[in-house]
Structure 1
Amino acid sequence: MSSTHTSITSTFHSSNSASWLSTSFLLTSTSLQPLFGRVSDCIGRKAPFLFSLWVFVLSTIWCAVAGSMESIVAARAVCGLGAGGMLCMGAIILSDILPLEVRAGYQSINNLAFGVGSALGAAIGGAIADYMGWRWGFAVQVPPAVVCILLCMYNLPDQEVEKDSDNGIFAKLKDFDFAGSVYLTLCVGILVLALNTGGNLLPWSHPIVLGSFATSLFFTVLFLRAEQRAISPIMPLHLLQKNPRAAMMLGSVASSIAMQTIFFNLPLFFQTVMLESARKAGSRLLIPTVGNMVCSVGVGYVINRTKVVRPTMRVGSLTLFFGGLGLCFLSSSFSELAVCLLLMPANAGVGLAYPSIMMGTLASSEQHEMAVATSTLILFRSIGNVMGVSTSSLIVQNVLVWGLGKKLIVGETAGLVSDEQKVKIIEMVRERVTAIFDLQGEIQQQVMDAYKVSLRTAFGWAALCAFIMLCATFNLVIPSMDNKKKKAEEHVDSEVTAMVTEESSLLRASK
């Protein structure tokens, strides 16, 4: 999506609403992931996993045939439901079959697969958009997804679940935090609506924008109250009340905002400032994404061997911060090698930070808390992804409107003969990014400069979020994985000793 969203939105003359392609997807995947986990506890892992795969396949076909911006945004929302289930169930199944002390290594293999997919998606997606059309970018995903369905159907075993009528699915789901899920979706979704429309489609003073902010705040309050009262909250508030987990949750949100800000807007920079095709813009992300993959895989094995996570978390935070800072100076005058080197630190930082925060959260949690800690971290990361796309879109669109107003000068030397022509050009380049290629001379350069300022500002926002993560996690005291394993073994030994003592007492009493 990162290398094709400009082609999609230009087709529907909606480039200033491009963020909805990602936020609609991320909203549904964020809010409904916990439901998959709870349902899988009732009916087993296989059925929810297959269901999410089928939803993903059918909604991807819908994306490929969508005839309007509204249709493809709706299709992306349904696609997010399937993708959220796939991610959630994949993590749960991995946790089911692997002990903590070896999980980092297998997580690295999972990260490797994810990295390969991301690298190929960014590079191949842009080429497909250029040579075959963006619709084929969705269509080519269907056959591999169907193969995954077949593999899971015949290789994923059915899990034994309790069949007692007193513990049926409805009895188990009665404690599910439905209210929290609804309130979270509404508060985040309405906030995204306000951020994406304010200063972009509507003035900041418009009643819809102001009302959206107020309504989002109202549902946020309801969400927090619901979490305090829920038996099984989707966001347990006690995890946010004590370090190191609270700081790592904050760091996860901040790093996700930084990551999405960078990755969502880099292809836009290449196409609007450097005047590159979608294929070229996507291919520029290939090597940095491979670097992300290598770091993500490597950090898993480092943690697996050393049993500590703080060093890699520190290095990842610093690398992400300096990577975001470096992108603030990205220019069309740089050589291809210089651009590639400038993109590497941010990608490497994310590859180092994400697994470190995940393993640090698990190391800081007791055995009975690991499932809820994992789901809460994923939830915070997903919220960060949503906010990363929406806040960066807010920055880019608002700064772009201001920049175009300042840089496009009416006059014969500039090529603009009237204020009406200026307004028309501003609307055209905001609705259809590819319109920049149709402009010529000084007008084209002025539009490119306006996009450069707006996108550099967004990269500055990413650097600020990375700095917040750095401050939150740099001095944390995180238990080592060896200590965690020893504590678990001591806990088991104490329980066994207590059982043996109790049994001996009962035997003596019977005599």
Structure 2
Amino acid sequence: MSSERDPLLTTPSRYHATVRDSEEAGEEKLGPLEISRLNRWAILVGIWLANFLSVRRTFSLMASISSEFNKSHQVSWLGTAYLLATCTFTPIYGRLCNVMGRRGANQTAVLFAALGTVACGLSPNMNILIAARFLGGIGGGGVFTTSAIITSDMFTLRSRGLAQSVAGVFTAIGMGLGGPLGGLISDRFGWRAAFMMQIPLFLLSFTLTGYSLRYVTPGKGKTSREVLSRIDYGGIITTLVWVCAILLFLSYRYNEQLPWDDARVISTLVVAIVFFLLFIVVELKLAVEPVLAPFLLKQKIPVLVGISNFLVAFCNFSIIYFFPMWFQTVMLSSASIAGMHLLPSSICMSIGSIVAGWSMHRTGKYRSINLTFGISPFIATMLIATMNENSSPARLWLSIIPLGFGNGVVLQTMLIALLAHIPQSAMAVGTGFGQLFRSVGQVGGVAISSAIFQSVLDRELRKRIHGPDANEIIRKIRQSAKLVVSLPPDLQRATRDSYDKALRIVFIMAMCSTLVAYIVRLPIPDKSLDEPEPAAPSPQAPKHPAQADIENTASFSTSPLDTPFDSDDEDRNERTPILRTMNSRPNLKRPRRLSGYESVDGGMDLENDVIGGTARRK
């Protein structure tokens, strides 16, 4: 009996037996472009729900957590640990989608994210909580990568932008509402409830994908040993060590102001350099399936997209983590009001994602909208960097809007630009490649910005605060932004000016980052999304005549008036199961919505019989 692990397109020697088994069992084997609308929506709701949960921020919970554990000096690691795990493990999910399958990889990510959330809610101390955040980050990064890959499976290239833009709405909602919602739950039920209340939604996401994510793609089954042997353990370990060492170096040298000759500063810097070099050696020389995908480093467009992703993420996270602090320390706003200033950006990021997706779907182009709105984040950061206490309320609330809208456009168009310039068989690895640069940018945006901020803040405070107790006062001010509002007037004025100066440097750095990102994107050419996607046909076996019929239809794409959610309204012949199509060789009068399938022996491998999933390129 055939199952989802069987190759979708078989060699002539296996073809008749496979068709006979399928017909005897009365099964229909549907590809990702042929599944029903109901099935597609179930999959999308499942992966989008996981997206929403994975981007919820903990900054609104930090005060409550630090108060319970009395560990305010460690509270910043709650965000850093999550980002460290995301940066380290995100790239591997592109490979896992190929060796474990889409369903297996996605549910692995959701499982880790859910376990991390439960562990956070049950943590007895700060160290366990930090470890739990790291565990959640292992899954959080994978949720985004697998969601992007699954969405790309189910839609033609032209429609992917629109579908991905809707996913961007869920991401933006999670980023915008996660903090305020978490703070509201924390105030009413405690910070642990803010974590535990997410579990039913994780279960719903897991159930929806487990039941619905069962489409088939070409490939061959592999054993568990073969699956596990392809994972790039060396790349994971070396990435974890060098990124963690960099974070510790920045913390020791700039946050704690240790001298350069301190053993902790020197040792962490040396470890970071050594393991970064080891990572390069592993990826280029040793790894069977490297997470870095060296073949993409030789191509212009993936490299430019990766650099843009890094710089955009760097800018975004510099603003996300420090923009509310400016209102809290300079304007003396409450923590909740300060956090609400991020909400306009999140809302407009959703709008930007939808605008970009619809534009690409209608026009089949991405470059013009990218260049038009890609400069918006630079304008926003310039406005933010020049804000002061006398700025109008409209400017204080609205300056951040172009940042969210512009980056919503940029992130969607760059993903489609990347997918348009790589073979269909490299889609999963390419998506992970882009996410790697984005994850490193997120970590860098927090860690580097924090190091610069703390260094400048310490310098500015020492310029303005003098006396026998100056060192102790400065230490307390640097450790707690909440302390500013309770300081005596003269000391408060000096502290507000110091915070303003330090945060302005961070905003200027973010402004430079997004400007360089815009310049980097200028050479990326436009490519019609109506063109057939590049494929790498296998020379291993001759093509079956029926397969040629299918491949001939791959060059067609949806019209600009199609939407990515209309499959139930199409003629049934357009969704005929692939095996039945091969058996009957119908006279196709209208183009089928298939694109980029590999040849019969296509070098993509399915998962083993236990795990479940799809394909990779040899």
Q: TM-score w.r.t. structure 1 length? A: 0.87
Query: Structure 2 counterpart of 1:334, which letter?
Result: S
Counterpart among 426, 432, 438 of residue 474 in structure 2: 426
Q: Indicate if the aligned counterparts of 2:254 and 2:452 stay in contact, CA closer than 8 A.
A: no
Output the amino acid matched with 1:219.
F
Instruction: Tell me how far 1:373 sits from its aligned partner.
Output: 1.5
Q: Which residue of 1 aligns with 2:489?
A: 441
Which structure dedicates a bigger proportion of its chain to helix? 1
Q: How far 1:54 sits from its partner (Å)?
A: 3.3
Per-residue deviation at 1:199? 2.3
> How far is 1:216 from its partner?
0.9
> Which residue in 1 is equivalent to 2:417?
360
Cα distance between partner residues in 2 of 1:296 and 1:89? 19
Partner of 2:110: 53
Deviation for aligned residue 1:489: 12
Q: Deviations over 1:190-212 (max 9, x none)?
A: 11111122122242412211221
Give the corresponding residue for 2:366.
309
Alignment-derived partner of residue 290 in structure 2: 233
Find the counterpart in structure 2 of residue 191 from structure 1.
Answer: 246
| Structure 2 CA distance for aligned equivalents of residues 16 and 391 of structure 1 | 17
Are the aligned partners of 1:60 and 1:138 in contact in 2 as well (CA < 8 Å)? yes
1:170 CA drift (Å): 1.3
Shift of 1:352: 1.3
**1:98 deviation in Å?**
2.4
Q: Deviations over 1:296-324 (max 9, x none)?
A: 11101111222222122223431112212
Structure 1 residue 106: Cα displacement:
0.9
- Which residue in 1 is equivalent to 2:228? 173
CA contact (8 A) 1:30 1:379 kept: yes
**Which residue identity lines up with residue 173 of structure 1 in the other structure?**
L
Q: Distance in 2 between matches of 1:302 and 1:452?
A: 39
Q: Deviations over 1:252-286 (max 9, x none)?
A: 11111011101111122222222222221222222
2:179 counterpart of 1:122: yes
Scaled by the length of structure 2, the TM-score of the pair is: 0.73
* Contact 2:90–2:439, Cα closer than 8 Å, also in 1: no
Per-residue deviation at 1:380? 0.9
Deviations 1:142-172 (A, max 9, x none): 33323333433444448699885xx302113
Q: Does 1:298 align with 2:355?
A: yes
1:41 offset after TM fit, Å?
3.7
Greater relative CO, 1 or 2 (CA 8 Å, sep 6+): 2
Letter in 1 for 2:235: G
Match of 1:264 in 2: 321
Question: Structure 1 residue 131: deviation in Å?
Answer: 5.6
Query: 1:392 deviation in Å?
Result: 0.9
**Kept after mapping to 1: 8 A contact 2:180/2:340:** yes
Matched with 2:199 is 142
Q: Distance in 2 between matches of 1:307 and 1:237?
A: 29
Aligned position for 2:31: none
Indicate the percent of aligned positions where both proteins have the same amino acid. 27
Q: Relative to 1, partners in 2 of residues 1:500 and 1:317: Cα closer, same or farther, differing over 3 Å?
A: closer
Alignment of 1:104-123 (within 5 A): 104-123=161-180
- The aligned residue for residue 312 of structure 2 is 255
Cα-to-partner distance string for 1:99-133 (whole Å, 9 max, x where unaligned): 32221111111112222222211332344455655
* Equivalent position SS for 2:530: helix
Number of the residue aligned with 1:416: none
Q: Does 1:472 align with 2:520?
A: yes
- Contact 1:316 1:352 (8 Å CA) reproduced: yes
Counterpart secondary structure, 2:399: helix
1:372-391 aligned at under 5 Å gives the runs 372-391=429-448
Deviation sequence 1:219-267 (CA, Å, 0-9, x none): 1111111111233211123322332222221111111101110111112
Structure-2 change in CA distance of 1:398 and 1:68 (3 Å)? farther
| 1:93-108 paired onto structure 2 within 5 Å | 93-108=150-165
Does the CA-based 8 Å contact 1:292-1:350 persist in structure 2?
yes
Contact 1:19–1:196 under 8 Å retained in 2: no
Structure 1 partner of 2:268: 212
Which runs of 5 or more residues in structure 1 are unaligned?
A: 411-418, 502-511
Asked if 2 retains the 8 angstrom alpha-carbon contact of 1:227 and 1:235, the reply is yes
Partner Cα separation in structure 1 for residue 402 and residue 75 of structure 2: 26
What is the alpha-carbon distance in structure 2 between the residues aligned to residue 440 and residue 128 of structure 1? 33
Q: CA deviation at 1:367?
A: 2.2
CA contact (8 A) 1:249 1:377 kept: yes
How many correspondences in the alignment? 488
Distance 1:146 1:220, change over 3 A: same
1:399 to 449, 456, 463: 456
Give, in whole Å, the separation in 2 of the partners of 1:499 and 1:284. 55
